[in-house]
């Protein structure tokens, strides 16, 4: 399977990658993000939207006084897919945040390096 993908980022919770297409160095414009037995096939803009939703959920601290905040799935995270929201706990939120931020960092770093190499 590694021959079929270009891995972008991974952590213990999930992985992000781009499917290779036929032809010389062609790639899909969408990024596959997989975590918790789910896969999302997202554009760069949708990943940015997802990052904003994660920041919002982190900012409201719905479980700050709860003894079981790390394990109780009492937070609702909207995804870029209008029909899908996720019930998550604080640990999952932290791991999703890392996965999305790491994915964006590596995409932007690669774009930056490719732009410098053109000059």
C-alpha distances in Å from residue 32, one per residue of 4, 9, 60, 103 = 12, 11, 28, 10
- Domain of residue 8 covers 2-118
DSSP 15-36: EEEEEB-SSTT-B-SSEEEEET
**Pairwise CA distance, residues 100 & 40, whole Å:** 12
* pLDDT tens per residue across span 22-53: 665 555 679 999 998 999 999 999 999 999 99
Q: Which of 39, 46, 47, 56 is nearest to 101 (CA)?
A: 47
Q: Domains in the chain: how many in total?
A: 1
DSSP label of 43: -
CA dihedral for 50, 55, 57, 63, sign (positive or negative)? positive
Average pLDDT (92-113) is 94
Asked if the model's pLDDT at residue 72 lies above 80, the reply is no
Output the six-digit token pair for 103. 């994915």
pLDDT, position 28 = 61
pTM of the model: 0.84
Asked if the model's pLDDT at residue 55 lies above 80, the reply is yes
Of 5-9, 42-46, 52-56, 110-114, which range is least confident?
Answer: 110-114
């Amino acid at each position: 399977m590694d021959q079929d993908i270009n891995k972008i980022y991974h952590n213990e919770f999930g992985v992000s990658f781009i499917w290779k297409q036929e032809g010389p160095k062609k790639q899909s414009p969408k990024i596959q993000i997989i975590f918790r037995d789910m896969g999302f096939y997202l554009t760069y803009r949708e990943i940015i939207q997802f990052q904003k939703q994660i920041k919002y959920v982190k900012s409201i601290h719905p479980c700050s006084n709860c003894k079981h905040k790390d394990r109780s799935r009492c937070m609702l995270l909207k995804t870029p897919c209008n029909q899908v929201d996720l019930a998550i706990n604080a640990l999952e939120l932290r791991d999703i945040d890392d996965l999305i931020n790491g994915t964006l960092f590596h995409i932007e770093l690669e774009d930056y390096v490719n732009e410098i190499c053109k000059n």
